Structure 1
Amino acid sequence: MKDNLDGVATFVQVVEAGSFALAAERMNLTRSAVGKAISRLEARLGARLLHRSTRSQSLTAEGQSYYEGCVRALAELDNAEAALDHSGIEPSGRLRVSVPEAFGHLCVAPVLLDLARQYPQLQIDLSFTDRVTDLLEEGIDLAVRIGELRDSTTLAARHLGTQHVVIGASPAYLARHGTPASLDDLADHVGIAYSCGGNVAPWWGALGALGAAGGDERDGAVKPVPIRSQISMDDIQAIAAAAIDGYGLAWLPCWLLTRFAQSGALVPVLDSYRVRSQEIYAVWPKERHLRAKTRVAIDALKARIPAMIGE
C-alpha cells in the first residue's frame, strides 16, 4: 500500500514556518532534506505546491487547497493518537521544556528527572533560560513561566503556585550596616538588583506589615521600595552569591533564600512585611487533546512545586 502521508507533515511545517530553513530547524533536519521531501511530494502529486525563490515562498492555488486538506488530516491523526494517549499507553517521545534558569535547576529539573526515570520511553530536552521563549516558533512543548501572563489565543496555562519574594542579607552585612526595621529604612542600605535586557527591576513592598503585633494590612497597595543599587545582575543565583559575600541586600524568591538561611549564610530581613509575590505557571501550545507526555509533566509539576516553594 502506498504511504500517502510521506512528506505531508514536512509540507505543513514548511507552510507554517514560512521558510525551508526554519522548518528544517524545527524538525531537526537539514534544509536539503526538507527540500527533497517537498520535491518528492510534488512529483507524486503531479502538482506544484509552492512558488519558491531565494527570498520568499508562497502557496500555489493547488498548494493552498492541499494544505487545508493536510491540516484536517493531521488533526484527525492527532486526535487518534491523543485517544491512545488517554487509554493508558505509557508517555513517550521527545518533550521539549523551557524553564527559568535558577528555578529550573533547583525546582523543575528534579521533577522532570524523576519523570524520566519513571517513563523510560520519555525523552526530556530541558532548556534553561530567563528569556521568554516563543513556544510555537521554537517548537517548545512546555514552558514554566514566573510572573504575569499575557492573554493568548494560542497558549494554554495551568497555575503551579505562588512565588513569594523576601529580602535577605548576610550576617556580616547586617553587622556593618545594621538591620532595617521598616521598608523606609531601606533607603539607607544598598541592594543587589535584578536586571533583564538592561532594565533594572524595582523593588516593591506593601504599605503595611503582616503578622507583626499591631500590624496593619491597610488596603493591600504596594509601592516602590527606596533602595540604591550599585550592582545589578540577570541571574538570581549570582545575586544570592553576592549577598552572601556582603555586597548588599538581595530581593530573592523564598525557595532560594530558605536554602541559604538554613546554613546561616543569609538572614531574612523584614520578613513580617509583604513583598510583591509572583505566580508560577506551566504554559503549552493549545491543542484539542493534550498529549500524554505533556500531561504527565504538568501533573507532576503541579503535584510537587507547591511544597518546593513553601506553600
Structure 2
Amino acid sequence: MSERLNGIEAFVAAVEAGNFALAAQRLGLTRSAVGKSVARLEARLGTRLFHRTTRSQSLTEDGQAYYERCRRALAELDAADAALEAGRLTPSGRLRITMPEVLGRVLVAPLLLELGAQYPELSFDAAFNDRRVDLVEEGLDLAIRSGPLDDSTALAARPMGHQWMGMFASPAYLAARGRPASLEALLAQASAHRFVGYVRDSGRPPWQFRDAKGQAVAFTPSSQFDFGCNSLEIAAMAAMQGAGIARLPVWLVREALDQGRLVRVFEEPQAFGYAVHAVWPHARAMPLKTRVLIDLLVERLVPALAVR
C-alpha cells in the first residue's frame, strides 16, 4: 500500500510540476527516484501514463483519466490529514531518532532536551552512532545523516548544511615541525609530519579536498595514522596536545580555535564539507512531533554548521 501511494504521489507531482525535476524538489526526493517510482506505477498498471521526449512530457489519454482520479483521492487524504492534525495543538508521543555520534551528542542532543522541556507530552528514543539504519524497517521517525544520501522513494529529506572540514594542528606542533602553506606543500613534506585521523571499523576514509577548480582531491597521509581512533573528539584532543595534523569538522574545533589551542594549518582553495540532512519516512502528512524538531534543527543546527 505504501509503495502504491508513493507512486501515485510522484505521478501527480510530476503532472502538476510539469517535469520530474521540479516534482522531485517538491517531494524532497531525487529526480531519479521520482522517475523510478512513476515507471514502477506504469509497470503495475500495464499502461504508459506519459508521452516522453528529451525535451518534454505530456499525459497519455489513460494518464489524463488516471490523474483526475488520483488527484481527487489525494485531495481526500489531505482533508483527512488536516482534520486529524487540527485536533492536535501540541506535539506528543515518542519520537525515535538516530544520528552520528559526535554531531548528535554535541549539537542535536541539547535541542532534544530543550524540546522535551517545552513539550512534556513528547518523549524520545535517541541513538547516537555512525551506522546507517533502515528507518522504515526499524520503525524510526527521523535520522540526521552526514554524507551522500541513498536514492530512495521511501524517504524524504531536508538539507541542514554541511560539516565543513579543515586541517588543524596545535601551535606547538607547527612551531616544531613547520607549517605547510598548502595541500601541495603538505604532500611534498608528508614524511616530515605526523597525522591524527578518524578510523572506522571498515578502515581509514581518505581525507577529501577541493582544488581551485572545484575538483575533488583525496589524500591518504600514510599507511597508518600516527594517532588513529574512532572518535572525532579524541582526534581533536590529540591534535590539541601536539600529536599531529588532523582533518576535523570546523564546528567541532571552533572553541579550540578561539582559545588558540588549535590553528588552521592552511586555507583551502575551496571549502570541502559533508552534506548534512534530516531524513524521515516519506508520508503525505508529517507528524507534528517530527515537524517541530525539524523546525528547531533549521533554526539552530543550520547556523551551528554554517561556520567555515
| TM-score, with structure 2 as normaliser | 0.68
- Residue 80 of structure 1 deviates from its aligned partner by 5.0
Alignment of 1:15-34 (within 5 A): none
Structure 2 residue aligned with 1:299 = 295
2:184 equivalent in structure 1: 184
1:223 aligned to 217, 228, 234, which one?
217
* TM-aligned CA distance change 1:129 to 1:86, over 3 Å: farther
The alpha carbon displacement at 1:200 in A equals: 0.7
Counterparts of 2:263 and 2:137, CA distance in 1: 42
1:199 pairs with 2:203: yes
The yes-or-no answer on 1:127 pairing with 2:127 is yes
- Map of 1:104-183 to 2, 5 A cutoff? 104-183=104-183
The residue type paired with residue 173 of structure 1 is: Y
Question: What is the letter of the counterpart of residue 200 of structure 2?
Answer: C
How many angstroms does 1:77 deviate by? 11
**Preserved contact between residue 142 and residue 278 of structure 2 (Cα < 8 Å):** yes
* CA displacement, residues 257-285 of structure 1 (integer Å, 9 cap, x when unaligned): 21211222211121343342111100111
**Alignment CA distance shift 1:195-1:79 (3 Å):** farther
Q: 2:238 aligns with which of 242, 247, 250?
A: 242
The 2-side partners of 1:78 and 1:220 are apart by: 43
Conservation of the 8 A alpha-carbon contact between 1:193 and 1:201: no
| 2: CA distance, partners of 1:245 / 1:171 | 10
Match for residue 269 of structure 1? 265
**For the residues of structure 2 that align with 1:237 and 1:83, how far apart are their CA atoms?**
47
In structure 2, the CA distance between the partners of 1:86 and 1:199, relative to structure 1 (3 Å rule), is farther
Cα deviation code 1:219-275 (max 9, x no counterpart)? 211212362322322221111111112111111111012121122221112134334
1:55-91 alpha-carbon deviations (Å, 9 max, x no partner): xxxxxxxxxxxxxxxxxxxxx9998576433555200
Distance 1:264-1:275 versus aligned 2 partners, 3 A rule: same
| Native 8 Å contact 1:204 1:275 kept in 2 | no
Q: CA RMSD in A?
A: 2.2
The CA distance in 2 between the partners of 1:121 and 1:226, in whole Å, is 48
Q: Distance in 2 between matches of 1:79 and 1:143?
A: 28
User: Following the alignment from structure 1 to structure 2, what is the Cα–Cα distance between the partners of residues 78 and 99?
Assistant: 30
Distance 1:124 1:251, change over 3 A: same
Moved over 3 A (4+): 76-83
Deviations 1:3-42 (A, max 9, x none): xxxxxxxxxxxxxxxxxxxxxxxxxxxxxxxxxxxxxxxx
SS, match of residue 199 in structure 2: strand
Long gaps (5+) in structure 2: 1-75
- Name the amino acid aligned to 1:164: W
**1:205·1:273 contact (CA, 8 Å) conserved in 2?**
no
* Equivalent residues, number: 226
- When residues 107 and 261 of structure 1 are mapped into structure 2, their CA distance, relative to the original with a 3 A threshold, is same
Query: What SS class does the counterpart of residue 280 from structure 2 fall into?
Result: strand
**1:86–1:292 CA contact under 8 A, matched in 2:** no
Q: How far apart in 2 are the matches of 1:165 and 1:268? A: 10
Partner Cα distance (2:81, 2:160) in 1: 27
Q: Distance in 2 between matches of 1:81 and 1:121?
A: 21
* Counterpart-to-counterpart distance in 1, 2:264 and 2:116: 36
Measure, in 1, the Cα distance between the counterparts of 2:78 and 2:137.
20
Q: Do 1:79 and 1:288's aligned partners in 2 also have CA atoms closer than 8 Å?
A: no
Unaligned runs of 5+ in 1: 1-75, 209-218
SS at match of 2:137: helix
